[in-house]
Amino acid sequence: MKSFTDYSQQMQRYHIQSTPDPYRPVKEYFQCQVSNMGSEMLPMLNGWYVHEGESLTTYPNGVIVGSLKAALQQYPELVKPFLKAQEDDADPLMASNAQQFTDGVFLYIPDNVKVEKPFQIVSLVNSREDLLVQNRNLIRVGQNSEVSVIQCDDSTRYGKTFLNVVTEIQLAEHAQFHYYKTENKEAESLLFHHLYVNQQAYSLFHSNAITFNAGYVCNNIRINLNEPFAEANLYGLYLVDKNQHCDNRIRVVHHAPDCKSRQLYKGIMDDEAQAGFLGHVVVKPDAQRTVALQTNRNILLTDKAKINTKPFLEIYADDVQCSHGATVGQLDDEALFYLRSRGIALRTARKLLMFAFANEVVQFVEIQALRDRLSDMVQRRLNGELTICDQCLLHNAEHSDMIFPIDPEKL
C-alpha cells in the first residue's frame, strides 16, 4: 500500500493545464471500437471535458450529461449540494481535489428512466509536460432509474501523468448503477480514483475495476449504505507485471439494516509487481441483518512479486452474516495434474487455470460486448500478447513514440 505516501511535494513537480485545449479532436480520436458496445462517448482531454457543441446536453427524457464546470453554472442546485465527499474522507488527495479540480463529467438521470446505452468516459492525457489532472465527476441516478458507466483512462507516451479523480455517485431509491473501469497508462503514471457512493433504500451499486496496465493505480471506493435493502457489489481484477502496482482500498459502511455488500477481488502478480487490498466493512449498531461478504484471492508468479492483503470487518450489530477471507498461493497442483493427465502440457494447463481464475471476475460484467472484450483481453494478457486495449483508436500505434494529433494514415 502506498497509502501513507505524502504526494504534496510530488504534485508540485507537475504542470496543471488551466484551460481546455484549443484543438479538440473529439470525433476523430475519441473512438472505442469494441464491437456492439454502442456506448455514448464522454471525452475528457488533459482534465477538461471536450465537446464540439454544447458543453451540456439535455435529452428529451430529462437526462443531463456533460461538463461539470458548465453544470455548476447552469444547474448549481443540482450539483453543489452533492459535492461533499471531502467532508467524509480525510484523505489529503480528496481535499486537494475538492479545492483544485478543473472539470469533470456531470451525469443526471431523473426518476424512472432506464438508459439503455452505456456512457463511456474516456479520459486522455496528452501533453509534452508532466501533467497533474484533478477531475471531479458527479453522477446522480433518480428513483427506479438505471444506467451504466464505463471509465477508460488513457495516456499517450509523452510525459508523466498524475491523475487524481473523484467521482461522487448518488443513488436514489431503487436506482441501479453499474460502473466499469479500466485503463491503458504508461509505466510512470500515477492514477488515483476515488469513488464516493451514497445509496438510498433498495438501490444497487455494482462496480468492476479491471487493471491490466498501470504504473501505479489506486482504486479507492467508499460506500455508504444509508437506507435499508441497499446493495453494493464490488469486483476487481488486477493482472500486473514488471514494476506495476495496483491498490484497491474499500470502505463499505452499513448504516441501515437489511443491506448487502459483496467484494470479490482477484489478482495475478508477475515479475516485481505489487498489489494491495484493503477491504474494510463497518456494520453500525442499527444495521441488523447485514450480509457482508469479502474475498481476496491472489496468485504470485515470482518470488519478487508482492501482495499486501487486509480484509477487515468492524461489526457493532449482533444479527449479521459476515465473512472475509484472503488467499495467496500458486495454482492448484491437483487441478494441474488432472489437466496434464489428459495430454495438456504443463504450460498450457497453467494458462487455462490462470484464465479461469481471472475470468471469474470478468463474468460479473453485465454488458456482453464489454465482457467478451475483457475476457479476450485477459486471455491475451496471459499469453503475453497484449499490453494495451487495442480497440482504443489512440493506441493502435502500439509502442511507437506517438505524436498527437496522431498520423491520420493510421486511422
Partner 1 sequence: MLKIEDLHVSIKGREILKGVNLTVNAGEVHAIMGPNGTGKSTLASVIAGKEGYEVTKGSISYNGKNLLDLSIEDRAREGVFIGFQYPVEISGVSIANFMRTALNEIRQYRGLDPLNGAQFLRLMNEKQKVVELTDKLSTRSVNEGFSGGEKKRNEIFQMAMLEPKLAILDETDSGLDIDALRIVANGVNQLKTKDNATIVITHYQRLLDYIVPDVVHVLFDGRIVKSGPKELALELEKRGYDWIKEEYEQGKLR
CB of 378 to partner 1, least distance (A): 11
352 counts as binding partner 1 under rule CB under 8 A: yes
Q: Which of residues 355-374 bind partner 1 (CB under 8 A)?
A: 355-357, 359-360
Quick check: helix, strand or coil at residue 164? strand
Cα–Cα distances (Å) from 352 to 335, 342, 382, in that order, read 10, 13, 9
187 counts as binding partner 1 under rule CB under 8 A: no
- Specify whether the CB–CB gap between 308 and 328 falls below 8 A: no
The binder of partner 1 chosen from 77, 318, 319, 333 (CB under 8 A): 333
340 counts as binding partner 1 under rule CB under 8 A: yes
Peptide bond into 405 cis (omega under 30): yes
Q: Which residue has the cell 501513507?
A: 4
Length of the chain equals 411
Binding segment for partner 1 (CB under 8 A), chosen from 68-76, 121-129, 216-224, 338-346, is: 338-346
Quick check: helix, strand or coil at residue 375? helix
Nearest-angstrom CA–CA distance, 105 and 80:
14
CB of 381 to partner 1, least distance (A): 16
CB of 331 to partner 1, least distance (A): 11
Q: In this structure, what C-alpha cell is assigned to residue 251?
A: 470502505
Phi, psi of 26 (to 5 degrees): -65, -60
Quick check: helix, strand or coil at residue 94? helix
CB of 323 to partner 1, least distance (A): 18
383 counts as binding partner 1 under rule CB under 8 A: no
353 counts as binding partner 1 under rule CB under 8 A: yes
- Specify whether the CB–CB gap between 273 and 298 falls below 8 A: no
CB of 152 to partner 1, least distance (A): 26
**Which CB atom, from 359 or from 391, has the smaller least distance to partner 1?**
359
Number of residues engaging partner 1 in binding (CB under 8 A): 22
341 counts as binding partner 1 under rule CB under 8 A: yes
295 counts as binding partner 1 under rule CB under 8 A: no
The binder of partner 1 chosen from 78, 344, 369, 386 (CB under 8 A): 344
**Which CB atom, from 100 or from 383, has the smaller least distance to partner 1?**
383
Tell me the residue type at 188.
E
Nearest-angstrom CA–CA distance, 239 and 268:
5
Q: In this structure, what C-alpha cell is assigned to residue 269?
A: 502478480
150: Cβ contacts below 8 Å, ≥ 6 apart = 39, 118, 119, 120, 121, 180, 181, 182, 367, 370
The binder of partner 1 chosen from 87, 334, 401, 409 (CB under 8 A): 334
8 counts as binding partner 1 under rule CB under 8 A: no
Strand 56-58 to 64-67 pairing: antiparallel
346 counts as binding partner 1 under rule CB under 8 A: yes
343 counts as binding partner 1 under rule CB under 8 A: yes
CB of 236 to partner 1, least distance (A): 17
Binding site for partner 1 (CB under 8 A): 332-335, 337-346, 348, 352-353, 355-357, 359-360
